[in-house]
Each structure stands twice: as structure tokens, then as C-alpha cells.
Amino acid sequence: MSVPFYVSPEQIMKDKADFARKGIARGRAVVVAQYSGGIVFVAENPSKALHKISEIYDRIGFAAVGKYNEFENLRVAGIRLADLRGYSYDRDDVTVRSLANAYAQTLGAIFTETAKPYEVEIVVAEVGIDEASDQIYRLTFDGSVADEHGYVAMGGSSEAIAGALFASWQAGQDLSTSLRQAVQALGEHGTDEARTLTPADLEVAILDRARARRTFRRIENSELEGLLSG
């Protein structure tokens, strides 16, 4: 009689984590950063059809790296949850904190209970009445949640990109400055070779603090070119 093959739980979790990290690292990076008038999302994404950045609710945005079909499932689930809560109770009851908790539970259950974890990393952010009240949450493949401040980078070379932003980002700066810092960091550290990213290489959106509702807005074409030129 053959002896069943045994793998320790610790080794299974380590193998899952390594698998997910490798998948995420293959994706192009995304930066989310605060500026005086809101929050800007910047992704290296030449595709005009497959978005890494999107709106979840009035004052909440979503950004992701990794496998498109997996983070798209999470995005749609987040929109449905937000819509249901806003319809059942009140629009003000839809918060990024509750959304981050729901995502954490979902990702944690997938990581521990299924054979293959999601190869995704996501950020959900909510713009507040001022810069101090903005909220940014980063969620990893295993359901871990980090409360970020100022900026966050995820995907391939995220540590190097975050290091570049640490050296340049300051509270209270304008949109053009935060955007140019993010694009420069993505170009210099997003791959093994430094590049100059053009508007055609980028997907950019903001949560505009000045709007009462539907604060999410994409920045494209001549507007994007103008902001990048300073």
C-alpha cells in the first residue's frame, strides 16, 4: 500500500504565495497618489479597452494589477456591493473601509480554501473633504490590508517605484506634479530599462475633491498632455 504524499500546511501556503507574487510581478505597475485636489490613479496601460482603473461609487476608485479576468471579477463585485448598500440604506453608508473589508474577506477565503490563489493586487481609495481625510487601502492576494498615506505603488518593481516617490512626493502638491512624479517613477523603474512614457502608454484617472458626487473622471488626450508638460 502506497504512503500518501504529504505536504505541510506551511509549505502549501508558501507555494501559493510565491505563485501569486510571480504572477503579479509580471504585470505593469500602477501608482495611486494624493494631490491637493484629490487622488490620482496612474497605470502603464496602452490598452484602451481593458482598464486597470475604474470607478466603484461616488467618491471611490479602484485600481489593480495582475490577471485581468480575476481583478475584473473583484471590480464588478465591488460595484454591486456598493450599489446594493447605497440603494438599501443611504449613499453615505457606502465607504471605502467597508469595501476593503469585503475584498479582504473574499481574497483571504480564495487564498486559503482554493487550490489556486488570485494573482492580483488592488487599491481602493476614497476622496475626502480634505487631503487628511482621504483613504487609500492596498489589498494583496492573501487578503492582507494596508492603510496607505500619500502614495502607493503595486505590480512589477513596486518597491523601486515607491522608493522614487518617497524621495519626491510632498503633501499639498498639485495634480500636475503628482502625475509627473508617478509617470517618471513608472518610466524609470517599471522595467529593467528606463523609458520615457507617453500619454499613449498611460491610463490616468482622478477622484476630484471639488465634485459632490461622481468624483471619478478619466484624464485623456490633450488634457493629459498638458498636465504632463507641466
Note the pLDDT tens digit of each residue in 43-70: 999 888 899 999 999 999 999 999 999 9
Dig out the grid coordinates for 2 from the structure. 502506497
pTM for the whole structure: 0.93
For residue range 142-174, list pLDDT tens digits in order. Answer: 999 999 999 999 987 899 999 999 999 999 999
Dig out the grid coordinates for 225 from the structure. 498632455
What total number of domains does the chain contain? 1
In a domain, residue 210? The reply is yes
Residue 4 is predicted with a pLDDT of 64
Residues of the chain falling short of pLDDT 70:
1-4, 230
| Cα–Cα distance, 142 to 120 (Å, whole number) | 9
In a domain, residue 224? The reply is yes
In a domain, residue 16? The reply is no
| Cα–Cα distance, 113 to 116 (Å, whole number) | 9
Sign of CA dihedral 91, 178, 195, 121: negative
Alpha-carbon Rg for the chain in angstroms: 18
In a domain, residue 167? The reply is yes
Instruction: Encode burial over 46-81: b for 16+ CB neighbours within 10 A, e otherwise.
Output: eeeeebbbbbbbbbbbbbbbbbeebbbebbeebbeb
Structural domain harbouring 130 = 27-229
| Cα–Cα distance, 64 to 182 (Å, whole number) | 16
What CATH number is given to the structural domain containing 61?
A: 3.60.20.10
